[in-house]
Structure 1
Amino acid sequence: MDERTSRVCDTLTAAPVDLLVERLEEELRRSYGITGAELLQVDYRLSTLLPLRGGEPVSSAGHPAWHCFDHQSPALADGVGYFPVTVRGERTGVLRVTPVPSEPELLGELVEVARLLAHELAAAGTGTDRYTVAARSRRLTLAAEMQWELLPGRSRVRPSFSLAGQLEPAYAVRGDNFDWSDNGERLWLSVLNGMGEGTAASALTTLAVNALRNARRAGVDLADQAELADQALYSFHRGEQHVSVLLLGVELRTGRVTAVDAGSPRLLLLRDGEVTHQKLEAQLPLGMFDGTRYEAQHFDLRVGDRLFVVSDGVTEATAAAGRYGDAALARFLRRTAAMAPMQAVRSVLGDLRAFVGTDLVDDAVVVCLDWSGPQP
């Protein structure tokens, strides 16, 4: 790390959690002659970049800030520089600096500065609400607040895979959710479609997510994870409420996938430009009956494969023209082949909102997983 970047790192580490951007701006002025710096955070709908300290939001798709966010590369325009604020694939937003230096080595340093800021923002999240609140264009419902607090993030990147997910309606989601974790040997992924309305739906999904995490962290296999979570839900609700869930475990050394389809959202495979429904044996949703047994199934990923998991809120969304449906979804998924998973998820839900003509009424979740192949 060069001397300037090292000073920035020290400044961010020493800064109060609510003043990261202000302290960074002061250090950028001293070290780089930059007079203005601002954090543009992506909002909950993935549709707007919101300045932390107020100002005009960025919603135009052609704006250089969005180019920076979507392509995860610096963008320069009219003396202004935009740098991705991303850590381990989790995209917080964009760092905007004015004036942007022209020297290539300084641009490289600012890429590292934005990454350092992303790390500090991730660490600061539990100590202040400032950044969380500033990323909202309107108030969340209580149910949505509960759902967003459950999420592991919205994107994740490792050499062997890239992953992204999104909930809709972002500010009023109720029962749909997703969760993931990886340990270098295996990726665990679950996508949930809970029943009910309002906070009751969120409370049900919260119980399901935490029951699945508890089972996963106990080190049991995928079928046993489903059975333990099923027991927890049934013990609490006695079969009156249940959760549909798809559980996946991906062996990172081989691409071998273990799956449990518990009344789940659908699983779609984009391979060589074609979209197919990855058929799994449908089993009972979690919590429906006492003592349900679950069986795991297996299939293999090829290098370059892309998996989508979508809830019924996507295909069953309706407008005056009718239902969005499987055919429209497949057509659009094919168009995402060249996009990164986060951009693909954002585009799918953008197309769905355009079809409906407004915010979605029913919950919808979209998760996208790219398989790059086994990595040492």
Structure 2
Amino acid sequence: MSGVEDRVRRALADAPADLLVDHVTAELEASYAITDVELLQVDYRLSALLPLTEGEPVTDPGHPAWRCFDHQEPVVAGDAGYLPVGMRGERRGVLRVAPVPDDPAAVGELLGVATALGHELTAVNDTTDRYRTARRSRRLTLAAEMQWDLLPGRSRVRPSFSLAGQLEPAYAVRGDSFDWSDDGHRLWLSVINGTGEGVAAAMLTALATHALRNARRAGIPLADQAALADQAVYAAHRGAQHVSALLLELDLASGVTTVVDAGSPHLVLLRGGRVVEQPLEAQFPLGMFDGTDYRGQRFTLRRDDRLFVVSDGVAEATGGNVRYGEHALTRFLRRTGSMEPLEAVRSLIGELRAFVAGDLVDDAVVVCLDWTGPQP
């Protein structure tokens, strides 16, 4: 770690939660005579980079800030430098600095500064609303506020896997959600759709998510996690409401994948550029009946396989009285093989928005998971 990075990390640790960027600016001015520093955060729709202070949103996909965000590499354009801000694969946005030093070593140090800022932004996320507020281009509905606060993040990168997810319509999502966790040996993923509308759907999804987390953290096998969440939802609603869910557990050393399909979204396997049918045993949604027994089924991923989990709202998106449909979805997913998971998710959502000529009306969730094989 360079001396500059070390000083910035100390400055960030000492800074009030709402003044992180101000303290970074002071350190960069002292070290590099950089006088213009701006944090551009990606918004909830993944369609704009919004400045923390006053300024215009960056929406042009060809802009250097978007090239930096998409490729997660520093970009120098004129006298400005753009540096990716994130933590462990969770992309927060871009740090713009000017005038940028004409020295590759200095740019490398600035990249370390941006990464340190990403870690600190995550650390203070629950103690201040400043960064959350600046990430939205319009007001979230109450249900959407609940859903976004429930998420573990929007992307994750580890040596043996990478994944990303997105909710739509981002500012008004109701019952669709996803959750994930890993311990270095296994990855758990759930994609959930609570029935109903508005806050009622969000509350139902939150109940199912917390029930699944509670069972998972107790070390209970995947099928029993589904059974305990089923009991929690049934106890609260006596079958009047239920939750469709797909639960997945991936062994990161072997690729062995266990799945429980509880009235779930669609699971699509992309292998070698081809969509491979992966039949699942359809079981009852969580909370539909009292005491449902669930069964896990297994299949094995190969190195560099990609899984998509998409809710019904994707294929059923409608534009001009025409349904998007499974065939269009399959064709589009084939074209995502060269993209990183977050780029693939963002591209699919962008395709759907173009198809419906605006935001989606019904909820949709897309999750993309790459297994890169066992790593040391």
Shift in Å at residue 281 of structure 1?
0.3
Contact 1:256/1:301 (8 A) holds in 2: yes
Match in the other structure for 1:110: 110
After the TM superposition, which residues 92-131 of structure 1 pair with which residues of structure 2 at under 5 Å, given as runs? 92-131=92-131
Partners of 1:277 and 1:141 lie apart in 2 by: 37
Contact 1:266/1:277 (8 A) holds in 2: no
Match in the other structure for 1:313: 313
Shift in Å at residue 33 of structure 1?
1.2
Match in the other structure for 1:208: 208
Shift in Å at residue 275 of structure 1?
1.4
After the TM superposition, which residues 325-340 of structure 1 pair with which residues of structure 2 at under 5 Å, given as runs? 325-340=325-340
After the TM superposition, which residues 281-320 of structure 1 pair with which residues of structure 2 at under 5 Å, given as runs? 281-320=281-320
Aligned residue type for 1:51: P
Partners of 2:311 and 2:286 lie apart in 1 by: 16
Secondary structure of the residue aligned to 1:53 is coil
Secondary structure of the residue aligned to 1:234 is helix
Mean CA deviation greater in 274-283 or 224-233: 274-283
Match in the other structure for 1:217: 217
Partners of 2:54 and 2:167 lie apart in 1 by: 25
Shift in Å at residue 321 of structure 1?
5.6
Match in the other structure for 1:248: 248
Partners of 1:149 and 1:6 lie apart in 2 by: 31
Aligned residue type for 2:210: N
Secondary structure of the residue aligned to 1:326 is helix
Match in the other structure for 2:19: 19
Structure 2 gaps of 5+ residues are none
**Does the alignment pair 1:360 with 2:360?**
yes
Aligned residue type for 1:152: P
- Which deviations, in whole Å up to 9, do the C-alpha atoms of 1:261-296 show, x marking residues without a partner? 000000001111111332110000000000000000
Shift in Å at residue 155 of structure 1?
0.3
The alignment's TM-score, normalised by the length of structure 2, stands at 0.99
Secondary structure of the residue aligned to 1:60 is coil
Aligned residue type for 2:109: E
Secondary structure of the residue aligned to 2:46 is coil
Partners of 1:279 and 1:39 lie apart in 2 by: 45
Match in the other structure for 2:33: 33
Partners of 2:193 and 2:5 lie apart in 1 by: 45
Partners of 1:315 and 1:276 lie apart in 2 by: 17
After the TM superposition, which residues 80-159 of structure 1 pair with which residues of structure 2 at under 5 Å, given as runs? 80-159=80-159
Partners of 1:17 and 1:132 lie apart in 2 by: 12
Match in the other structure for 2:199: 199
Match in the other structure for 2:66: 66
Partners of 1:183 and 1:32 lie apart in 2 by: 40
Partners of 2:343 and 2:229 lie apart in 1 by: 32
Match in the other structure for 1:161: 161
Aligned residue type for 2:235: S
Q: What is the total number of aligned residue pairs between the two structures?
A: 376
Partners of 1:101 and 1:334 lie apart in 2 by: 41
Aligned residue type for 1:201: A
Match in the other structure for 1:345: 345
Match in the other structure for 2:173: 173
Partners of 2:341 and 2:19 lie apart in 1 by: 31
Match in the other structure for 1:275: 275
Partners of 2:172 and 2:68 lie apart in 1 by: 28
Partners of 1:278 and 1:350 lie apart in 2 by: 26
Partners of 2:300 and 2:32 lie apart in 1 by: 50
Aligned residue type for 1:119: H
Partners of 2:299 and 2:215 lie apart in 1 by: 23
The alignment's TM-score, normalised by the length of structure 1, stands at 0.99
- Which deviations, in whole Å up to 9, do the C-alpha atoms of 1:89-138 show, x marking residues without a partner? 00000000001111111011011000000000000101100000000000
Partners of 1:276 and 1:252 lie apart in 2 by: 21
Secondary structure of the residue aligned to 1:309 is strand
Identity between Structure 1 and Structure 2 (%): 68
Partners of 2:52 and 2:110 lie apart in 1 by: 19
Aligned residue type for 1:116: A
Match in the other structure for 1:260: 260
Partners of 2:157 and 2:299 lie apart in 1 by: 22
**Does the alignment pair 1:239 with 2:239?**
yes
Partners of 2:349 and 2:93 lie apart in 1 by: 19
Secondary structure of the residue aligned to 2:38 is strand
Match in the other structure for 1:55: 55
Aligned residue type for 1:141: T
Match in the other structure for 2:226: 226
CA RMSD, aligned part only? Answer: 0.7
Shift in Å at residue 194 of structure 1?
1.4
